[in-house]
């Protein structure tokens, strides 16, 4: 049974605070293990990567066999049913269209002093896409991570994906080819992150790594940050549904389970102003669990981390949502736009009764790579901006430096930075004064 809270309870604030503070993943001591793997790959390159691939994935290959061949891509496409190919193409087209509209324009102008100012956007030159290969394979994540990078103009896109026992999901390879990924390597875990960050004899380093993974991958990304860029530290999936009693409880139950089935540490939360509806949703969850292929995972997630919050009225919902700051937020209410306007913290918002979060996972268009663990308070979902750099542009001529330069000299001298002041004074012809 999920944890059930009620805002009318005298203990609500304490119980809600405990919810916010709860850790859904047990912090395991992986940092030392990961540090050793990173150091080994940095030192030995391919040899270390291949040793860890054999140890962790049961895949004994040589350096020349790490990279997926054109023949393997072709075989994967032939093995994929036509309806899946069609769906991938449809998703890819929608993701591309959405992110193309995000592309920013630079600017260049002269201000009142005659100083030319502006900024330009340039793409990161190389990006590594980490794709999990554990409890489930996610070709949708390949599209959602790689396409924004491709639209941004990244020149070299590389993907690493573990192939336990030598097995790769064909649809993952099809998605990689469709997204324009240039190189795919059959490696995973911290050793893959190390290879992308430091480079090996066979895998040139990249300038940024994006994509989710397990605790070892997250730790590796955290430790290589600075050597290379990373997108975010993604945790277990989350969904928060705000629903009134006018919804079909079975629909809402399925929405909650759509994230619970990802991982035992995932979290599904329902906020409603109708206690009877809350009970109906809980009953529907139990019924649907009996039919799911991943019922054990979803059931454990719901039992351990599921939460139902009953509020006196829906005006209480937005402040609670902002404190939770969920990865995914569904607003299945009569006025979703009005409620959304009152909410600041959410990775993605799904508006209305006919917009389940699963639409966003596959076909809507925005990337489903979203901040978790309350980080929507300060972070955004993956977009073209994660693969672009903004560079400031400044140009002075003789007249404009005379207009603004004296202020720079004054501030530099106030800070005790003589060379700063001198570099401007020389151009003003006042170096001796």
Among residues 340, 337, 344, which one has the least CA distance to residue 376? 344
Is residue 76 pLDDT above 70, yes or no? Answer: yes
In the sheet with 3-6, reading across from the earlier edge strand, the strands are 3-6, 307-310, 267-272, 238-243, 328-332, 348-351
What is the band of 427 on the pLDDT scale with cuts at 50, 70, 90?
Answer: very high
Note if 328 is an active site residue. Answer: yes
Q: CA 274: distance to chain centroid?
A: 33
Is residue 149 pLDDT above 90, yes or no? Answer: yes
Q: Which of 230, 250, 277 lies at the terminal end of a domain, its last residue?
A: 230
Number of domains in the chain: 3
Spatial distance between the Cα atoms of 164 and 57, rounded to a whole number of angstroms: 4
For residue range 95-107, list pLDDT tens digits in order.
999 999 999 999 9
What is the predicted pLDDT for the residue at 431?
A: 63
Please give the model's pTM, rounded to 2 decimal places.
0.93
Range of the domain at 277: 235-378
Same domain, 173 and 318: no
What is the band of 191 on the pLDDT scale with cuts at 50, 70, 90?
Answer: very high
Same domain, 82 and 195: yes
Q: Which of 189, 207, 230 lies at the terminal end of a domain, its last residue?
A: 230
Is 5 part of any domain?
no
Supply the mean pLDDT for the chain: 95
Mean of pLDDT values over 46-56: 97
What is the predicted pLDDT for the residue at 430?
A: 77
Catalytic residue among 183, 327, 330, 357: 327
Is residue 187 pLDDT above 80, yes or no? Answer: yes
Residue 310 tokens, joined: 């009953």
Q: Which of 214, 230, 246 lies at the terminal end of a domain, its last residue?
A: 230
Same domain, 407 and 352: no
Same domain, 418 and 334: no
User: Apex CA 65: angle with CA 59 and CA 70, to 5°?
Assistant: 120
The partner residues of 123 in beta bridges, in order of sequence, read 388
Same domain, 341 and 213: no
Is 306 part of any domain?
yes
H helix or E strand, kind and range, residue 160: strand 156-160
What is the predicted pLDDT for the residue at 393?
A: 98
Same domain, 210 and 329: no
166: region left, alpha or beta (phi > 0 left; psi from -120 to 50 alpha): left
Catalytic residue among 328, 330, 357, 368: 328
What is the predicted pLDDT for the residue at 23?
A: 82
Beta strands at 307-310 and 3-6: parallel, antiparallel or unpaired: parallel
Mean of pLDDT values over 21-28: 73
What is the predicted pLDDT for the residue at 27?
A: 57
Among residues 49, 69, 62, which one has the least CA distance to residue 197? 49
Mean of pLDDT values over 392-414: 97
Mean of pLDDT values over 169-181: 95
Same domain, 222 and 322: no
Is 137 part of any domain?
yes
Is 143 part of any domain?
yes
Same domain, 248 and 342: yes
Spatial distance between the Cα atoms of 200 and 194, rounded to a whole number of angstroms: 9
For residue range 360-391, list pLDDT tens digits in order.
999 999 999 999 999 999 999 999 999 999 99
Beta strands at 107-110 and 116-123: parallel, antiparallel or unpaired: antiparallel
What is the predicted pLDDT for the residue at 26?
A: 58
H helix or E strand, kind and range, residue 229: strand 229-230
For residue range 232-262, list pLDDT tens digits in order.
888 889 999 999 999 999 999 999 999 999 9
What is the predicted pLDDT for the residue at 233?
A: 82
Among residues 256, 398, 391, which one has the least CA distance to residue 330? 256
Mean of pLDDT values over 177-206: 97
Distances (CA, A) of 359 to 84, 330, 355, 365: 16, 11, 7, 9
Is 355 part of any domain?
yes
Is residue 135 pLDDT above 50, yes or no? Answer: no
The CATH number of the domain holding residue 412 is: 1.20.5.1300
The CATH number of the domain holding residue 345 is: 3.40.50.1980
Is residue 61 pLDDT above 70, yes or no? Answer: yes
Same domain, 240 and 340: yes
Q: Which residues contact 38 (CB under 8 A, 6 or more apart)?
A: 190, 193, 194, 197, 198, 220, 223, 224
Same domain, 145 and 224: yes
What is the band of 28 on the pLDDT scale with cuts at 50, 70, 90?
Answer: low
The partner residues of 350 in beta bridges, in order of sequence, read 330
What is the predicted pLDDT for the residue at 346?
A: 98
User: Does the CA dihedral 25-29-32-38 come out positive or negative?
Assistant: negative
Note if 327 is an active site residue. Answer: yes
Share of the chain above pLDDT 90, in %: 90
What is the band of 137 on the pLDDT scale with cuts at 50, 70, 90?
Answer: confident
Same domain, 339 and 214: no
Same domain, 277 and 186: no
Q: CA 240: distance to chain centroid?
A: 17
């Amino acid at each position: 049974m999920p944890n059930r809270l009620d805002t009318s309870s005298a203990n609500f604030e304490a119980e809600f605070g405990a919810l916010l503070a709860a850790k859904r993943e047990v912090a395991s001591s992986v940092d030392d293990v990961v540090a050793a793997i990173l150091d080994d790959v940095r030192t030995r390159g391919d040899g270390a990567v291949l040793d860890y691939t054999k140890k962790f994935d049961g895949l004994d290959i040589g350096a020349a066999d790490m990279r997926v061949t054109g023949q393997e891509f072709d075989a994967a496409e032939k093995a994929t049913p036509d309806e899946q190919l069609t769906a991938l193409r449809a998703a890819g087209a929608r993701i591309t269209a959405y992110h193309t509209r995000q592309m920013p324009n630079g600017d260049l102008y002269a201000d009142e002093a005659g100083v030319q100012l502006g900024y330009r956007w340039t793409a990161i030159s190389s990006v590594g896409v980490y794709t999990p290969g554990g409890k489930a394979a996610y070709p949708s994540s390949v599209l959602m991570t790689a396409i924004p990078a491709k639209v941004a103009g990244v020149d070299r896109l590389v993907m690493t994906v573990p192939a336990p026992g030598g097995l790769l999901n064909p649809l993952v390879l099809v998605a990689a080819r469709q997204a324009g990924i240039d190189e795919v390597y059959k490696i995973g875990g911290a050793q893959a992150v190390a290879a992308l960050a430091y480079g090996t004899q066979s895998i040139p380093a990249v300038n940024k790594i994006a994509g989710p993974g397990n605790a070892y991958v997250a730790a590796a990304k955290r430790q290589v940050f600075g050597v290379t860029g990373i997108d975010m530290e993604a945790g277990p999936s989350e969904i928060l549904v705000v629903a009134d009693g006018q919804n079909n409880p079975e629909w809402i139950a399925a929405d909650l389970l759509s994230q619970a089935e990802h991982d035992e540490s995932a979290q599904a939360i329902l906020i409603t102003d109708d206690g009877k509806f809350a009970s109906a949703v809980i009953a529907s969850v139990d019924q649907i669990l009996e039919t799911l292929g991943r019922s054990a995972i979803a059931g454990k997630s719901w039992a351990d981390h599921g939460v139902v919050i009953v509020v006196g009225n829906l005006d209480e919902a937005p402040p609670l949502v902002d404190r939770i700051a969920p990865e995914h937020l569904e607003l299945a209410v009569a006025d979703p736009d009005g409620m959304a306007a009152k909410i600041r913290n959410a990775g993605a918002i799904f508006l209305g009764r006919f917009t389940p979060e699963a639409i966003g996972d596959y076909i809507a268009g925005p990337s489903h790579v979203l901040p978790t663990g309350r980080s929507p308070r300060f972070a955004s979902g993956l977009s073209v901006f994660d693969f672009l750099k903004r560079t400031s542009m400044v140009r002075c001529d003789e007249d404009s430096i005379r207009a603004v330069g004296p202020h720079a000299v004054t501030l530099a001298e106030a800070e005790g930075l003589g060379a700063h002041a001198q570099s401007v004074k020389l151009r003003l012809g006042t170096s001796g004064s």
